[in-house]
Amino acid sequence: MSNFVIEIKGLNKLERAIRRSPRMVRQELSQAISTSLHLIRPIMKNEAPRGKTGNLRRNIKAHAQGLEGSVGPNLDITPYAYYVHEGTGPYEIRPKTKKALYWPGAKHPVRLVKHPGIKANPYVERTFKRIKQPVENVFNKQISNIIRKFHSS
């Protein structure tokens, strides 16, 4: 999946603030990350395809730790999420433990199925387009708070 860039205004002032009071800056930035993740998660859940079970949407989680955060499907539960997002080319499906494949509605067992592939559904990219400006606003507000705190101290 893709990585995205968020532009942060006042970064040079922020760097000076970090050197002067790293703990306060860390707390403010952690708050910005946490707030951003809470904005991103419901939008990504809405953008992700529902599918037959809703499992992909249900397993989109947000996680923050210190100055890092992530939002996305739990790949331990939904390892197919990458293929939903990126799509696949044609591929073959063969039986793993039996001699043939069979499913309800099939006319007869088969040894091979030629799948035409899966069309990409770039729900992460759609999420980013929708959330980019609100997340930039969150970070710009927190950076303004940091700078204001330094001017008042």
**Does the predicted TM-score (pTM) go above 0.85?**
no
**Residue among 125, 115, 54 nearest 86 (CA):** 125
In angstroms, the CA 13 to CA 140 distance is 12
Instruction: Kindly report the average pLDDT of the chain as a whole number.
Output: 90
Look at residue 32 and tell me whether its pLDDT is greater than 90. yes
Tens digits of residue pLDDT in 39-91: 999 999 999 999 899 999 999 999 999 889 999 999 999 999 999 999 999 99
Q: Are 88 and 117 in contact (CB under 8 A)?
A: yes
pLDDT of the residue at 1: 59
In angstroms, the CA 97 to CA 94 distance is 9
